[in-house]
Structure 1
Amino acid sequence: MKCSFWPRPQSLRGRFTIANVLFLAAGLVLAAAASIAATYMVLIGQIDETLRSQSTALDRAALGSDGLRQLCTLAELLQMGKGGASVADAFQQDLFIVLDAQGRPATVCHDDAGPVTADQRRMADALSDPAHLASGGTSTVRSGMTEYRVMATRLPDGTLVVHGIRLNGVKHAIGKLLIWESAAGVVLLGLLATGSLTAARRRLSPLEDMVETASAIAEGDLSRRIGAARHGSSEVEQLSSALNAMLQQIETALTESERATAQLRQFLADASHELRTPLASVRGYLQLYEKGMLDPDERDRALGRVSAEALRMSRLVDELLALARLEDRPALPHCPVDLAALVGDAAADLAAQQPERPLTLLPAGVGGAAAVRALGDEAGLRQVVGNLLGNVLVHTPADSPLTIELVREGGDVVLRIADSGPGMAADDAARVFDRFFRAAPDRARETGGAGLGMSIVQAVVHAHGGSVDLDTAPTRGLTVHVRLPAAAP
């Protein structure tokens, strides 16, 4: 079990705030220590300068111990009866000790006007090396609860005068400075903590939006996205954009996966239905044949039906295999194909089957001498043209006009097949390229189609890098536009 004196918040905002406060506190402590040390050195330097000035004045006066006593007596005579403080009292305001040749404190004035006090004796005892002080050095000496900054001056007769200044003012100033800096530091730390919490809440709000978005997506709302960050940094904006792009890809992949799964289910159901009907017919006729329940005439008709249903199943399987190969996007041979010749052959086949149908080829040279070349696979393109004209043959009246136009537009070849049949509704036109879709399911037995012709057309055209679309409406006929890459002249 881990235990710590300092709290460890779980939120990122709290951790940022504590880290900022700790860094600022460390900086304030270092700055306060530096300022206090600098202030103390400046004040001590001023005191030392004052002591040196006093020492210089004593040196210039060239007084001995006797001269000091005479000066003291003269000052007492001048101030006698005036109520003022004596020079001796002035000497006792700060540290002023006279040491004789043996290093003992001596009186300055006669008649005990300036007696040696106990404090002066303690200070004299505290002086470890008065001779060093006399060479111009300064030192800090403690006497009881009071500290002095002292310096010594050697008089001409060998007497040492130790004079100093109390450090009470310095300590008081340093204490006040410490109090003010501590108070200012506490205020600054409080302001920093408040500002850090506020700034962290504003800056990290996009992360909260990301959490909410992730939770919504986990609950099934795949369209949810991360909103634009009002207070986020450029890194947060980049992260939001990257996550939105990833979520869009995930949604697209899931949507495509669901659509593919639905198409697969529908394909399996449709394929099973398409195969179940002819298989049931074949099985029924074979059972009747095995049990001898068919007359000779009915037996021939039954064998013909079995052969027709087997052919239908074979054609369905071939179409499914062709679609499966095209979905694998095989590398089709890309060579120049005379699409005009393919269209001419298919139109001739249609005219042979329905000679009464009005057929127009545009331009007039299509199928003749004028060649319009597309880049692709001849067998696949022939299947495309055949399926399109096969739909016209099956789903439009035999006497309705048909127009086939083949032109070159830029770098593409465009094939337009426009019939004058019944046309298609918008819903049927949207599903015309779906597998096993038939606009007239009741005619499936009559036409023999499985609804895979337009699916194969779309797959082949896409495999060639082209496009196919419809233009139709009820009673307005159907126009199919096929666009393929043209071959170089």
Structure 2
Amino acid sequence: MRLSLRARLLLLTTGLLLAGLTLISAVVSSQLERYQLDRLDSQLRSFTEIIAQVSPSGPNREQPARPELLDPALDLIGAPYLAYLGPDGTVVGTLRSSRVAAASFPADDALRSLPVDGSAVVLRAANGSGRWRAVARPAVGWSGTVIAAAPLTEADATIAKLRTTSLVSGAALLVLLTAIGWWALGRGLRPLRRIEHTAAAIADGDLTQRVPGLAAPGTEIGHLAASLNTMLGQLEQAFADRAAAETRMRAFLADVSHELRTPLVGIKGSTELYRMGGSDVDEAMGRIDREATRLTVLTQDLLLLAQLDEAPEGQLDRAPMDLRTIANDARHDLRALDPSRSITLTGPQGRGAPGPAAVSGDEDRLRQVVTNLVGNAIAHTPAGTPVRIGVGTEGDHAVLVIEDEGPGMTEEQAGRVFDRFYRADQARKHSAGAGTGLGLAIARSIARAHGGDVVLRTVLGAGSSFRLTLPLLVSGQADVRRVQLGHAGNAE
């Protein structure tokens, strides 16, 4: 079974802490032991050097040892055992503390093996009960060796106590820090659990869930929460867009089916009526021709929209041109369709004369855009309603405006006017001469294929203004000049 992140982190930190405490304890014990041995070695060397020079004739065997004086003296200098070796290595004299049992002193054989250069050596007691530290030096004035030895019992007890204390205190500290670490890791990982719960809720379908502000924005958890919330917002928007797209697609397919069925039903009805003798050939063929034309236009519009959706740039045959040419032709078209209207040709803001608007575009497609906008103004405003056509530049864009003083639209109508098959005037949906509801959708798709757009500005009761904006031609002054000369020739 895999351990949790909290348990793994705790095991890692506990292992590192244990290794650190063990290393520190070993270093401290080693240093303390080395210090004690160095201090004891220094005392033994000094003592042997003094004793080697004080007894030039060797040990005095005739003077009996007095324990009440000898023991404090030996304890004072830290050497409870003093031995004299003859030239042949035999022990010729000793001074021993009465407080130490005779069997606990080093064996004579061990004393003979000591180097006489003052090096300190560790010896075992004769009965194996402990360790001794011994130093040997040659005697001065006679052929012998002076040896001083001190037990390591106290030093060993000190080291053992230190190690025991380190072990107990280290274990207690390890337990305490492990408990604190478990609590701290749990508190530190709590935001991740909150994120996990949020993700689980989202996986169950609740896309409105967000990660709460679990930490300061500048921390790692804060950055993670902000990034997750941004991602969740995008996911929610993507799902909402997909749902909306599916809804629009279903509505689109329903509208397409309905729009295609209407002319087909008309054609079918005309043939049935003629077959039953209810109409003559000319009347039946006329109705069939009108419905077939309507069906052809609808099919062509749908095909164009599909092509613009799939590969918009591939449907354009670009060339340098000036939007003033199309604006001037739109004025003539409006006059021909409704001579009673007042039509003015101005700059884009409604002031001054039309300005140059050189673009790189497909003239036929852009004419289709303007024709749809003009047809929309004719179809949705009363006869005689004034119309303004503005053309020129605004910033780095060429602009062509079709503005009427008609009834305008509501906010809901303005938000859907570019939807496919949408008609603001539902009463005209199936009236004679009514459009398919694709004109404005086609106009916007063509404009966006050129890198521009068509936008609507309208107020209910105060008219509507459709603005076609396209990027200005920037390929060179020669192209602009050629477009302007061509416009001048067309005007003549």
> Contact 2:416–2:422 at 8 Å: present in 1 too?
yes
Alignment of 1:212-361 (within 5 A): 212-230=197-215, 235-237=220-222, 239-290=224-275, 292-296=276-280, 299-328=281-310, 329-331=312-314, 332-361=316-345
Question: Which of the numbers 94, 101, 112 marks the counterpart of 1:130?
Answer: 112
**Structure 1 counterpart of 2:27:** 34
**Structure 1 counterpart of 2:18:** 25
Superimposed CA distance per residue, residues 262-298 of structure 1 (whole angstroms, 9 cap, x where no aligned partner):
22111100000111112112112212323x33243xx
Partner SS state of residue 356, structure 1: coil
47-56 vs 221-230, which moves further: 221-230
Alpha-carbon distance, 1:234 to partner = 5.3
**Structure 1 counterpart of 2:373:** 388
Partner SS state of residue 417, structure 1: strand
Aligned residues: 462
Matched, 1:12 2:5: yes
Partner SS state of residue 69, structure 1: coil
Alignment of 1:362-401 (within 5 A): 362=346, 372-401=357-386
Structure 2 distance, partners of 1:151, 1:164, is 6
Structure 2: stretches of 5+ with no match in the other structure: 475-479, 481-492
**Structure 2 counterpart of 1:417:** 402
Alpha-carbon distance, 1:440 to partner = 1.8
Structure 2 distance, partners of 1:369, 1:439, is 31
**Structure 2 counterpart of 1:4:** none
Question: Which of the numbers 429, 434, 440 marks the counterpart of 1:454?
Answer: 440
Structure 2 distance, partners of 1:105, 1:167, is 22
Alpha-carbon distance, 1:40 to partner = 1.1
Partner SS state of residue 128, structure 1: helix
TM normalised by structure 1 equals 0.84
Structure 1 distance, partners of 2:60, 2:306, is 125
Structure 2 distance, partners of 1:457, 1:437, is 14
In structure 2, the CA distance between the partners of 1:88 and 1:40, relative to structure 1 (3 Å rule), is closer
Give the superposed CA RMSD: 3.3
21-30 vs 344-353, which moves further: 344-353
> Contact 1:98–1:106 at 8 Å: present in 2 too?
yes
Structure 1 distance, partners of 2:199, 2:260, is 46
**Structure 2 counterpart of 1:51:** 44
> Contact 2:48–2:147 at 8 Å: present in 1 too?
no
- Residue identity in the other structure for 2:269: G
Identity %: 34
> Contact 1:154–1:160 at 8 Å: present in 2 too?
yes
In structure 2, the CA distance between the partners of 1:88 and 1:108, relative to structure 1 (3 Å rule), is farther
Partner SS state of residue 85, structure 1: helix
- Residue identity in the other structure for 2:324: A
Matched, 1:430 2:415: yes
In structure 2, the CA distance between the partners of 1:26 and 1:231, relative to structure 1 (3 Å rule), is farther
**Structure 2 counterpart of 1:69:** 61
- Residue identity in the other structure for 2:344: T
- Residue identity in the other structure for 1:483: T
54-63 vs 94-103, which moves further: 94-103
Structure 2 distance, partners of 1:233, 1:354, is 66
Alpha-carbon distance, 1:229 to partner = 4.7
> Contact 1:202–1:231 at 8 Å: present in 2 too?
no
Alpha-carbon distance, 1:20 to partner = 1.0
